[in-house]
Amino acid sequence: MRNEQLRPGLWQVVNDRYPGSMITKSDAVPLARFEKPLSEARLTFVSTSGVQPKGTLPFDVAHPIGDYTFRRVPSGSSPEDLEIHQLKYPTDGAMRDLNVVYPITRLQELVAEGTIGGLTDNFYSFIGYNMDPGLFEATVAEDIAAAVEEEGADIALASPA
């Protein structure tokens, strides 16, 4: 498996802009080997994009330490059902085509054509601005992991925005 930085210098830029934000983790859980054919697997999608169903409580983009909540996004949603509450990346393109950051339509299409076996009832979304990694792990990460397991996901597609 490749384990290299695809954009050399990016982490240094992040560290310059947010000093001390780059952390190392020595007890990471190794990735599970995916044995099932994709065409038989149920996939879930986890995103830092701040995408959420319209009408749900907007993510808190003002708090200086971040928002440690997540939203369930029904996997059958259309982009018109969703909106973005996030400040830390330029959202103008994603506002025009949500699939740029949250490829929900593409995943639905892959299921319809049989490439993917199915989708979990919900996808998961949160904002990537979280300054307390320990709190993030204990709340958002644990809660989403439990929800994904409960929904019977075989594979999780995780995407930063």
Partner 1 sequence: MSLAYLREAVEQDDFEKLIRYVCLHFGDGDDVAGRKEIDKAWVEALKLLIERPPTSQELPTTNQDLPTAHQELPAINQDPPTAHQELPTTNQELIHELVGSQSPETLAHLFFYLHFYLVKRTGEWIHDGEL
Closer to partner 1 at the Cβ: 63 or 106? Answer: 63
Query: Of 10, 11, 12, 21, which one interacts with partner 1 (CB under 8 A)?
Result: 21
Closest CA to 34 of 131, 132, 157: 157
For residue 9, state whether it binds partner 1 (rule: CB under 8 A): no
Query: Of 2, 7, 17, 33, which one interacts with partner 1 (CB under 8 A)?
Result: 17
Cβ-in-10-Å burial (0-12, 13-18, 19+) of 16 comes to exposed
Tokens encoding 68? 């440690």
User: What letter would DSSP give residue 138?
Assistant: I
Cβ-in-10-Å burial (0-12, 13-18, 19+) of 2 comes to exposed
Q: Please work out the total of residues on this chain that contact partner 1, with binding judged by CB under 8 A.
A: 24
Stretch that binds partner 1, among 62-70, 101-109, 112-120, 151-159 (CB under 8 A): 62-70
Footprint of partner 1 on residues 92-131 (CB under 8 A)?
Answer: 92-93, 95, 131
Footprint of partner 1 on residues 69-88 (CB under 8 A)?
Answer: 87-88
Closer to partner 1 at the Cβ: 33 or 96? Answer: 96
Q: How far is the CB of 62 from partner 1 (least distance, A)?
A: 4
Q: How far is CA 51 from CA 106, 120, 126, 150, in A?
A: 16, 17, 7, 22
3-state DSSP assignment of residue 125: strand
- Sites of contact with partner 1 (CB under 8 A): 17-21, 23, 61-65, 87-93, 95, 131-135
